[in-house]
Amino acid sequence: MNALKKLLRGTAAAAVLIASVGLAAPANAAEQQSVKDAVQTVKRITAKASGLLKGDAVVKKQGAMVGTAKVHGEAEPLVAAIAADDVQNSVVASTKDTQSMIMVLDQGKSSADFSMSIPDGYVAELTNDGGVQLRNQSARIVIPFISAPWALDSNGKKLPTSYTVNGSKITQHINTNGAAYPIVADPSIQWIPYPVVAMYGWEAGTIRKMTASILVAGPGASCTLVGITGWVGKVFTAICSLVGLGSAKDIVRNIGNVWQSSSGLLLWGCYGFRIWNPGAGAIPMPARDCA
């Protein structure tokens, strides 16, 4: 599965990224105190914003975090990573299923920079709600990565904040007018095993009409032997290369079923159909993801 092999190359890059940010224990008393102060500052301020962090969140000194998505039938997950450029002032709050990198900004600072390592073939870009997604430009596969940002001042007041993305760099900008320092700001990984394939409504309708042709492939058939041409074949091949023939046929069947059973979907609306939970319904997407 060539597409999967390309994606998994990100594993090595993620390991290099994590190693490069220096996660070793502080060498002296001053550094140890700095780490303790950062963790306590984050705990103190986030406690003032009810529900921002889960009650079981473990806050510890960490300069990088990794997100993974399990691929059906594969032993290795897809891997992406994000690391803080200012390692000394970063901590990570982790629960069973979430990771939040929280930066402590001292007096006068209003932004924080992060470096990403993402799978080959994907680009990082902003979402409509202000988060960051990974998009495969050739196959219309879109994967959530970073949630919309938040920021609090020392009194727990929410501050206006947003991201900019430049290649493998993310910068979080905070409006600090009237804010009390220190400020805590957060990019949270939302990499979950629900990548979507983006398509226009009329394309989903066409797939519905072609479902029988796609599903006719027998048990011994491979992704390359299904024989569907044009953009439908391209979409099917992209899904098939990620999940295998059997799962791909189920996904295509469900895309058609979602289109048929949904009301209010527009022919020229752009929608995301979840690859590993396609029956959950269509998600409105920006038009660029279907282009």
DSSP 226-281: S---HHHHHHHHHHHHHH-HHHHHHHHHHHHHHHHH-SS--TT-EEEEESSSGGG-
Q: Is the pTM of this model over 0.75?
A: no
Please write the tens of the pLDDT for every residue from 202-214: 888 887 777 776 6
- pLDDT grade for 255, boundaries at 50, 70 and 90: confident
Q: Which of 57-71, 77-91, 140-154, 166-180 has the highest mean pLDDT?
A: 166-180
If phi > 0 it is left, if psi is from -120 to 50 it is alpha, else beta; for residue 173 that is: beta
- For residue 264, name the pLDDT band (cuts at 50, 70, 90): confident
The Cα–Cα gap between 192 and 198 comes to 17
- Between residues 182 and 6, the one the model is more confident about: 182
Residues contacting residue 48 through CB under 8 Å, at least 6 positions apart: 152, 155, 156
Q: Which of 248, 157, 146 is nearest to 207 (CA)?
A: 248
Would you state the pLDDT for residue 111? 95
- The secondary element (H helix, E strand) that includes residue 104 is strand 99-105
* C-alpha distances out from residue 48 to 40, 52, 89, Å: 13, 9, 20
Q: What average pLDDT does the structure give for the chain?
A: 75
Given a cut of 80, whether residue 54 has pLDDT beyond it is no
Sheet of strand 169-174, all strands in order from the earlier edge strand to the far edge: 64-69, 78-84, 111-117, 169-174, 161-166
pLDDT at 114: 92
Q: For residue 129, which of 289, 286, 287 has the smallest C-alpha distance?
A: 286
User: Per-residue pLDDT averaged across 24-44, rounded?
Assistant: 61
Of residues 257, 141, 246, the one with CA closest to residue 204: 257
> Is pLDDT at 235 greater than 80 in this prediction?
no
Nearest to 250 by CA among 288, 276, 287, 228: 276
> Which one, of 95, 123, 99, 101, lies nearest residue 114 by Cα?
101
Q: What is the mean pLDDT of residues 78-101?
A: 83
What is the SS3 assignment for 289? helix
pLDDT score for 15: 33
Residue that has been written with the tokens 């957060």 in this structure:
186
Judge contact between 275 and 188, C-beta under 8 A: no
Q: What is the pLDDT of residue 179?
A: 94
Percentage of the chain beyond pLDDT 70 is 69
